[in-house]
Amino acid sequence: MPSADRLVILDRDGVINQDSDSYVKSLDEFLPYPQAIDAIVRLTKAGWTVTIATNQSGIARDYYDKATLAEMHDELARLVRNAGGEIAHIAVCPHGPDDRCACRKPLPGLLEEIRDALGLEELAGSWMVGDSLRDLEAGAAMGCHNVLVRTGKGTRTLTKHPELAADASATYIFDDLVAFVDWLLRP
Ligand SMILES: [Mg+2]
Ligand SMILES: [Zn+2]
């Protein structure tokens, strides 16, 4: 059974795969970082539940459609499964910034979806991993431990918000997903 203190929620772009300022619009542009799949698999094998919460406003902007997004996520799930891991749930916000939805991070709607999909009472004590401030804001709203990785927009986020680095108890900072997983699974 999933439990919040054994749950990791990953942002997608810039955490699992290379981000692009012109959006990740096709399966060809979906490029997982080296060892990122392996890191997810290691979490699963160590008894952690792995989920994804991803803003995909490129759908609202008509840069790609839901079928193309499903191709990317099928491929991701396949890569993880073939290596012996599992992604328990992928929560997607397909809306744009002006759609007034309840799911686009920094709002916590995607995390609420994950909580409900896993049958959890709350997400307090779980781990939210992102490369943007909005990921951390969504995580904080749900009582998650917050992790910022330097990949993707992470370095930019730290430059814009140096206060994040000043309070190590509020935000854990790692070079990438692999370094976070190494730390989380440390003996
Ligand atoms: Mg991101
Ligand atoms: Zn939304």
Tell me the pLDDT tens digit for each residue of 109-139: 999 999 999 999 999 999 999 999 999 999 9
- Compute the distance from residue 101 Cα to the ligand 2 centre, in Å: 5
- Annotated binding-site residue? 93: yes
- Annotated binding-site residue? 19: no
| pLDDT for residue 164 is more than 90 | yes
d(CA 127, CA 16): 15
- Compute the distance from residue 66 Cα to the ligand 2 centre, in Å: 13
- Compute the distance from residue 151 Cα to the ligand 1 centre, in Å: 9
Domains annotated for the chain, with CATH where assigned, are 4-184 (3.40.50.1000)
For the chain, what is the HEC assignment?
Answer: CCCHHHEEEECCECCCECCCCCCCCCHHHCCECCCHHHHHHHHHHCCCEEEEEEECHHHHCCCCCHHHHHHHHHHHHHHHHHCCCCCCEEEEECCCCCCCCCCCCCCCHHHHHHHHHCCCCCCCCCEEEECCHHHHHHHHHCCCEEEEECCCCHHHHHHHCCHHHHCCCCEEEECCHHHHHHHHCCC
Ligand nearest to the CA of 156: 1
Ligand nearest to the CA of 103: 2
- Compute the distance from residue 173 Cα to the ligand 2 centre, in Å: 27
Ligand nearest to the CA of 56: 2
pLDDT band at residue 1 under the 50/70/90 scheme: confident
- Annotated binding-site residue? 144: no
What does the pLDDT read at residue 168? 78
- What residues pack around ion ligand 1 (CB closer than 5 A)? 11, 13-14, 131
| pLDDT for residue 37 is more than 90 | yes
Active site positions, annotated? 11, 13
What does the pLDDT read at residue 169? 79
What does the pLDDT read at residue 167? 82
What does the pLDDT read at residue 22? 93
